[in-house]
Amino acid sequence: MLVSEQKPLEEILHSLDGDGTVFLLGCRGCAEASHTGGEQEVRTMKANLEEAGKIVSGWTALDFLCQKALVKTGLQAFRDQILASDSLLVMCCGVGVQATAAVVDKVVHPGCNTLSMGGAQGEWRGSERCAECGACLLDYTGGICPITACTKSLINGPCGGARDGRCEHQPDVRPCGWQQIYERLKKLDHLDKLREIHTPQDYAKAEPPKALRSTTFWALEHVEE
Amino acid sequence: MKLTQLFADGRFVITSEAGPPKGVDTTKMLEEVALLRGRVDAFNVTDQQSSVMRLGSLAASHLLKQQGAEPIFQLTCRDRNRIALQSDLLSAYALGIENVLCLTGDYVSLGDHPGAKPVFDLDSVSLIHTIKTLCEGHDLAGNELMGKPDFCIGAVVSPGADPIEPQIIKMENKIEAGAQFFQTQAVYDLDQFSDFMKQVKHLRVPILGGIILLKSAGMARFMNRNVAGVYVPDNLIDKMDESTDKVATSIEIAAELIKAIKDVCQGVHIMALGWEKWVPDLLREAGLWDRLSSS
């Protein structure tokens, strides 16, 4: 299971700045268990966004946002609502946000921060990876995680080491994550996102707070082990 | 002396490199520095270049300073977290080091300890931001410093990167974070370089064009295959191939490059990569040897 917590509403609204119409997407897997992106939380978020003057074109909560093939299939039913939206707000772990960003040609905003349980990668995973850093940056990077896609986990743009779009470390198997981010943002016409300077990550945020550790789901996760 | 002062004085700035040894015998490094002291403005002291473990850039910068040479303390994000980086910066300033160059750092697998744990807690942009924060009297956690440093902050850019757009955006972010001058990756393609200089003209920040002495046609081909952002055109490779005096040809090529870029940038950064002893000849041929004594 991937444990997440919702980003502060203020941060979410800031990330939606300029987006009038938003589609909401929750996850019936870990995010529901974390009480951060199940049906109930998506409904609450819908009310919050509407109160803030946003139009919510539609919403759903799918099983396993961590698997992009399932996300793609699940979102077919909401095609028109999504096409009518400026962006999607995805309330789940970093894997689900990336999987969604990989299958829709829309800006995808993360609604949650994923917290560390020591390295989980979704219940039905694809190629997307989340480092459970607790301070999700996917909003700035076109839904591609710079922590996992970049070998050096750089958060402020590419180093000078890539050649022909390949990483200086194992170029035969590793693409340059920042080139992928650049290309995605260019496609979304959002290169302005690259101009945001990020101060160093707060790695203390990766640690789940005490309140989360006392939930049943947390306990179950550890009983299994 | 801070490099910013030299740019303010309108000087065409020349920097070179000092490579710390693998081991503790610094004789050769200091001899190479002595050859150029007073002829170049400052020496970049490399920080575990190419991820190969060597004597540290902080200690070597201090040794240069003791010899009356001006060091540019190179600092990468590969081997130190934010605690160690800030601490080394304070240490450097306490030792009289005023110029710093911030780099991401090559990945560990490129060097001689490929199994090392890479750090990259900060990146080049946040490292620049960190130095600026220290200069303002605080550490990254907001604690007040007892006595604040006053660094001249340098950064790097790769004019030959493809695509170039994300590199330029990052360069702009580095300036916004506090970078005061740039050194570039090696320049061989003049059209590409002048194109790059046009694209960054609005930034109004001093840029030192990078010069690497070609030692052979094989080295040029190797760089074209393996070094990101470096492209040696075929005519230069042929010239090296046909040459019977590699050193003379190498110096001729580098001197021509310097003369060609001299008017579009604010200085040059010469990377001799073991050929330090030929740099005086290069400076003579480029007409820059008596630059300081005559000014």
Domain ranges of chain B: 3-285
Predicted confidence (pLDDT) per residue in B199-225, tens digit: 999 999 999 999 999 999 999 999 999
Do A102 and A203 sit in the same domain of this protein? yes
Q: How far is B291 from chain A (nearest CA, A)?
A: 32
Q: According to the model, what pLDDT value does residue B248 have?
A: 96
Instruction: Give the Cα separation of A175 and A13 in Å (integer).
Output: 33
- Comparing CA positions, the residue from A161, A160, A197, A204 lying closest to residue B132 is A197
The structural architecture, per CATH, of the domain B3-285 is Alpha-Beta Barrel (3.20)
ipTM value of the model? 0.92
Do A99 and A42 sit in the same domain of this protein? yes
From chain B, the residues in CB contact with A178 under 8 A are: 166
Mean pLDDT, to the nearest integer, of B19-34? 97
Strands B99-103 and B71-76: parallel
CB contact under 8 A, B107 and A191: no
pTM (2 d.p.): 0.91
Mean pLDDT, to the nearest integer, of B237-246? 96
CB contact under 8 A, B228 and A197: no
Facing residue for B129 by CB, picked from A168, A191, A199: A199
Q: How far is B220 from chain A (nearest CA, A)?
A: 16
Do A15 and A91 sit in the same domain of this protein? yes
Position A222 pLDDT exceeds 70: no
From chain A, the residues in CB contact with B110 under 8 A are: 168-169
User: Is any Cβ of chain A less than 8 angstroms from the Cβ of B82?
Assistant: yes
User: Is any Cβ of chain A less than 8 angstroms from the Cβ of B120?
Assistant: yes
Strands A107-110 and B181-186: unpaired
pLDDT band at A128 (very low <50, low <70, confident <90, very high): confident
Q: How many domains is chain A built from?
A: 2
Do A173 and A114 sit in the same domain of this protein? no
Q: According to the model, what pLDDT value does residue B295 have?
A: 44
User: Is any Cβ of chain A less than 8 angstroms from the Cβ of B84?
Assistant: no
pLDDT band at A10 (very low <50, low <70, confident <90, very high): very high
Position B293 pLDDT exceeds 90: no
Instruction: Give the Cα separation of A150 and B132 in Å (integer).
Output: 26
Mean pLDDT, to the nearest integer, of B123-130? 98
Q: How far is B162 from chain A (nearest CA, A)?
A: 7
Instruction: Give the Cα separation of A108 and A101 in Å (integer).
Output: 6
Q: According to the model, what pLDDT value does residue B187 have?
A: 96
Residues 6+ positions from B38 with CB-CB distance below 8 Å: B292
Q: According to the model, what pLDDT value does residue A30 have?
A: 87
What are the C-alpha distances in Å from A41 to residues A38, A44, A147, A214, B235? 5, 5, 27, 20, 65
pLDDT band at A126 (very low <50, low <70, confident <90, very high): confident
Q: According to the model, what pLDDT value does residue A224 have?
A: 53
Give me the domain span that covers residue A185.
141-197
Instruction: Give the Cα separation of A198 and A200 in Å (integer).
Output: 6
Could you tell me what percent of chain A has a pLDDT over 70? 95
User: Is any Cβ of chain A less than 8 angstroms from the Cβ of B139?
Assistant: no
Predicted confidence (pLDDT) per residue in A153-164, tens digit: 999 999 999 999
User: Is any Cβ of chain A less than 8 angstroms from the Cβ of B184?
Assistant: no
- Comparing CA positions, the residue from B147, B153, B20, B49 lying closest to residue B97 is B153
CB contact under 8 A, A198 and B170: no
User: Is any Cβ of chain A less than 8 angstroms from the Cβ of B171?
Assistant: no
Q: How far is B289 from chain A (nearest CA, A)?
A: 31
Do A62 and A151 sit in the same domain of this protein? no
Mean pLDDT estimate for chain B: 96
- Contact between B156 and B184 (Cβ < 8 Å): yes
Could you tell me what percent of chain A has a pLDDT over 90? 76
Mean pLDDT, to the nearest integer, of B161-183? 97
Do A128 and A21 sit in the same domain of this protein? yes
- Comparing CA positions, the residue from B162, B223, B170, B244 lying closest to residue B195 is B162
Q: Does residue A172 lie in a domain region?
A: yes
Predicted confidence (pLDDT) per residue in A53-101, tens digit: 999 999 999 998 998 999 999 999 999 999 999 999 999 999 999 999 9
